[in-house]
Amino acid sequence: MTTFIGDHGLYAVFVLMVIDSVFPAASELVMLYAGALAAGAFSGQHVVLFGDRIHSHFWAFVAVSLAGVIGNTVGSWLGWGIGAYAGRPLLEERGRWFHLDRAKLARADRWFDRFGDAAVFLGRLTPVVRSFISIPAGVVRMPLVRFTVLTFLGCVPWCFGIAGAGWALGSSYEHFHHAFAYAEYAVVAAVIVFIAWLILRRRSSTLARGAGPSR
């Protein structure tokens, strides 16, 4: 993903953020890397718009952030359309195609009951929720213009904020990414240990049932 952004810059950010509006596509990493790219952190990689390099690091930052905002907004129309035209019954049966199960649909219902239309704005600021809030908005047939405005406004602080973190890391990004790899290894190790624990627990339970008193 980072190679894709490094090779295609703004266009890659736009495409990945379109996808992230419906399927979780690690928008945090996309915008973090894009911000570092805008800061000139990577030798030989630059932000290019319509074939012309953006020499100002500040305007490069603005460009990648807006690419993320616009990509998320455009992608949200796809999510809204799925919800509006596929309908809730199909989503309850086939929601896993969109990483949207009944529990997430129920959570979205609670968000809309509690916050009304503002659920879209708040959802865009909330990790995980931001990737599936568009579909329930389509299910309840929120007016598309209002949905678009709230989505755009919610994407602005998210994209500019995380790109700003990447910008702040600047040339330290590679050190950060290298150090973060150890956190990834720790997560993988924890998952393996958890799975092993489940297997052992299930095996112990099976053995205990098998060793029960016989009649």
Higher pLDDT, 54 or 71: 71
Per-residue pLDDT, 183: 46
Q: At what angle do helices 102-115 and 57-94 cross, to 10 degrees?
A: 110
Q: Which two tokens stand for residue 69?
A: 């905002």
How far, in Å, CA of 29 to CA of 112, rounded? 28
- This prediction's pTM: 0.69
Span 31-49, average pLDDT: 80
Total Cβ atoms within 10 A of residue 153: 15
Contacts of 89 (CB under 8 A, 6+ apart): none
Considering the chain, what percentage of its residues have pLDDT values greater than 70? 67
Domain boundaries, the chain: 2-171
Q: With left for phi above 0 and alpha for psi between -120 and 50, is residue 56 left, alpha or beta?
A: beta
Q: How confident is the model at residue 200 (pLDDT cuts 50, 70, 90)?
A: confident
Model confidence pLDDT, tens digit, residues 131-184: 777 888 888 788 999 999 999 998 999 899 888 888 887 755 555 555 445 545
3-state secondary structure the chain: CHHHHHHHHHHHHHHHHHHHCCCCCCHHHHHHHHHHHHCCCCCCCCCEECCEECCCHHHHHHHHHHHHHHHHHHHHHHHHHHHHHHHHHHHHHHHHHHCCCHHHHHHHHHHHHHHCCHHHHHHCCCCCHHHCCHHHHHHCCCCHHHHHHHHHHHHHHHHHHHHHHHHHHHHHHHHHHHHHHHHHHHHHHHHHHHHHHHHHHHHHHHHHHHCCCCC
Exposure string over 64-94, b if 16+ CB within 10 A, otherwise e = bbbbbbbbbbbbbbbbbebbbebebeebeee
Q: Which of 5-14, 160-169, 180-189, 206-215 has the highest mean pLDDT?
A: 160-169
